[in-house]
Structure 1
Amino acid sequence: MGRGDPHRRRQARVKPRVAIAIGDPAGIGPEISLKAARDKQVRALCEPVLIGDRSALAAHGKACDLSLEGLAIVDRRQLAPGELRIGEVGIAHGRAALDAAEAAIRGALAGEYHAVVAAPHTEAAVKAAHAFFDGYPSFVARVCGLPANEGLLMLCFAHEGREVRIAHVTLHSSVEEAIRQISKETVFGTLQAVDRALRRIGIDHPKIAVSGLNPHACGSEEERHIRPAIAAARAEGFEVAGPFGADTLLERKGCDAYVVMLHDQGHVAAKVLAPNRAAALTIGTPVLFSSVGHGSALDIAGRGVADASAMREAITRLVGHRRRAVAT
């Protein structure tokens, strides 16, 4: 086909389909999902597909004056009549949140969606439903048929004109257990996953900075595990620097991602620098998956006042032009 071929131009204009799992139907998830799906910037970049209980979306749409007209919706029919109680913790709500996320992930695995973005769930509702859930990274990995520890978290947010991405070697573990999990293999595996993820979102030559575990990155763990992992990554051709003290890591500009050892080394920075704005990207799996960095806000659900910024940020990071931007 020639460069001016109209069929080729039409193919180039096809927008990626992004699945939006609506989260806890009793929280703000349906509201911010509707707002994101109707957002002009989002619709210019992709074709959003809402996945969840249509009756819950309709209830939130009515309460928040948001129309469902013209939106693509996959109705999971998760709730019986009268089962939805907006603003409350409910067993059915917890089941529905995970069902929507799993359906979206399986759709992405089947090639139906380019990426998946999940609205917030409610921990208490998931626990009440007796569902095993220890965070989206491991959940996504299990749905993809992988060991749970292959799903890793990378927090992404804009700060002072640059894109900050923070990946974690360990996540929802006690400090004692996390230290046991840190090894040359786990640190190297995280560096591999980060490098692949950055290339997948359009960064051709990723630059990664790595934190230590101990203050000033001076300790036995750095010598036995972290430095050897960095050396192995460099031997594979990765551009990796460190280890640096976690307290000064983000001061090192010009990096496309930062790798930290512990949950709080990354989450404290994200919550201080980008409250309610961080996107939580799962890496290390075949599915491009992101959730939002805030909760289900049951106290304001159904009132039409929820901020959908984090949902829009998550979507545009996965499919927008900013996905190719480096950190500076």
Structure 2
Amino acid sequence: MTKPVIAVTMGDPAGIGPEITVGSLDKKEIYDICTPVVVGNADILEKMLPVKKADLKINRINNVSEAVGQYGTIDVIHLGELKGYELGKVNGECGQAAFDYIKHAVELCQSNQAQAMATAPINKESLKAAEVPYIGHTEMLAGFADIADPLTMFEVLNMRIFFLTRHLSLKDAIGQMTKERVHDYLIRCDEALKKLGVEDRKFAVAGLNPHSGENGLFGYEEVDEIRPGIELAKADGIDVVGPVPADSVFYQALNGRYDAVLSLYHDQGHIAAKMTDFHRTISITNGLPFLRTSVDHGTAFDIAGEGLASSVSMEESIKLAAKYAPHFANA
């Protein structure tokens, strides 16, 4: 079988993205399952080789067809020079560069030169300084693909978590927990897992209130909105249970009872995933015409360039992209 090409964006040049990119590609097992092609700045990656004690060669290429695709060589599509670059500093030039890397990786995926993309962290302040009209990766990808509301899914070990709401205050998030939204998301989550090759899909919806509200004793959101949304999804053939109290549903999913959990708000699912294994919590953006995986941590400006950043998340992100790319392409 032909190995999938994974476009790897190196993230904000001033953060830990370049070094964890180098660290992840200093692993032979990555090249056993895919052909990684970095989209970024070859000069900065070269500077990170001694930082990560990596005995590797940088191969500057113009397109995917020139990639060597073998362990020992990092194939890099080099996009432009950086003049105001300084490690650990918010910089508009770096924000623009990070944006350009993502845009180019999307173009590789849309033209089928790459079968998936794996992204290193970007910095929201640097994006703002560059006047990039997006706050983060998900919003950029949605804009490039003209998709209104992509799905975020975390995978860690054998647990998958979808998110009904993302970057909202808890008060505003609760206002979004309508039966219509729960119903719609369960349908879309089922479609997303099907596209990733998951069969016989069983879902659980996390509860909002303690003990899922105890039938109104501790709140009526489950009674009025969440459970009715679940029932609508069941009527459409979705295998789903809930709401299941949030203090147990993630443990149950981790032990194989469910294929995925629909988390109702940002921190509910983030805490569950990152307490399970912080470095192996990988984000997948579903609902796009291409597959994207990502580390779920920031640019860590305070330690950038010091060789302290673990590359495990980046490695896992690339591996997950390689794992799902064949299923996604055939969906």
Task: Tell me which residue corresponds to 1:274.
Answer: 277
Quick one: which amino acid aligns to residue 175 of structure 1?
A: L
Percent of pairs with identical residues: 34
Measure, in 2, the Cα distance between the counterparts of 1:193 and 1:94: 32
Measure, in 1, the Cα distance between the counterparts of 2:247 and 2:259: 18
Gaps of 5+ in 1: 1-12
1:308 maps to which of 287, 308, 311: 311
Measure, in 1, the Cα distance between the counterparts of 2:324 and 2:287: 22
Task: Tell me which residue corresponds to 2:43.
Answer: 55
Q: Give the secondary-structure state (helix, strand or coil) at the position aligned to 1:142.
A: helix
Give the RMSD, CA atoms, in angstroms: 2.2
Measure, in 1, the Cα distance between the counterparts of 2:249 and 2:319: 26
* Pair 1:193–1:56, CA change in 2 (3 A): farther
Q: Give the secondary-structure state (helix, strand or coil) at the position aligned to 2:184.
A: helix
**Are 2:200 and 1:205 aligned?**
yes
Task: Tell me which residue corresponds to 2:188.
Answer: 193
Alignment of 1:6-85 (within 5 A): 13-66=1-54, 67=56, 68-69=58-59, 70-77=73-80, 79-80=81-82, 82-85=83-86
Measure, in 2, the Cα distance between the counterparts of 1:94 and 1:309: 24
Quick one: which amino acid aligns to residue 95 of structure 1?
A: Q
Measure, in 1, the Cα distance between the counterparts of 2:23 and 2:187: 35
Measure, in 1, the Cα distance between the counterparts of 2:150 and 2:185: 10
* Pair 1:196–1:100, CA change in 2 (3 A): same
Quick one: which amino acid aligns to residue 138 of structure 2?
A: P
Measure, in 2, the Cα distance between the counterparts of 1:110 and 1:185: 35
* TM-score, length of structure 1 as denominator length: 0.86
The farther-off stretch of 37-46 and 191-200 is 191-200
Task: Tell me which residue corresponds to 1:4.
Answer: none
Gaps of 5+ in 2: 60-72, 214-218
Q: Give the secondary-structure state (helix, strand or coil) at the position aligned to 1:165.
A: strand
* TM-score, length of structure 2 as denominator length: 0.85
**Are 2:124 and 1:123 aligned?**
yes
Alignment of 1:129-168 (within 5 A): 129-147=130-148, 150-158=149-157, 163-168=158-163
Q: Give the secondary-structure state (helix, strand or coil) at the position aligned to 2:200.
A: coil
Alignment of 1:252-271 (within 5 A): 252=252, 253=255, 254-271=257-274
User: Contact 1:137–1:283 (CA<8 Å) still a contact in 2?
Assistant: no
User: Contact 2:20–2:311 (CA<8 Å) still a contact in 1?
Assistant: yes
* Pair 1:116–1:32, CA change in 2 (3 A): same
Measure, in 2, the Cα distance between the counterparts of 1:323 and 1:180: 38
1:286 maps to which of 260, 277, 289: 289
Task: Tell me which residue corresponds to 1:113.
Answer: 114
Task: Tell me which residue corresponds to 2:230.
Answer: 230
User: Contact 1:24–1:94 (CA<8 Å) still a contact in 2?
Assistant: yes
User: Contact 1:134–1:172 (CA<8 Å) still a contact in 2?
Assistant: no
The offset of 1:156, in angstroms, is 1.3
Quick one: which amino acid aligns to residue 239 of structure 2?
A: E
The offset of 1:286, in angstroms, is 1.8
Q: Give the secondary-structure state (helix, strand or coil) at the position aligned to 1:264.
A: helix
User: Contact 2:7–2:117 (CA<8 Å) still a contact in 1?
Assistant: yes
Task: Tell me which residue corresponds to 1:10.
Answer: none
1:177 maps to which of 172, 175, 186: 172
The offset of 1:97, in angstroms, is 1.5
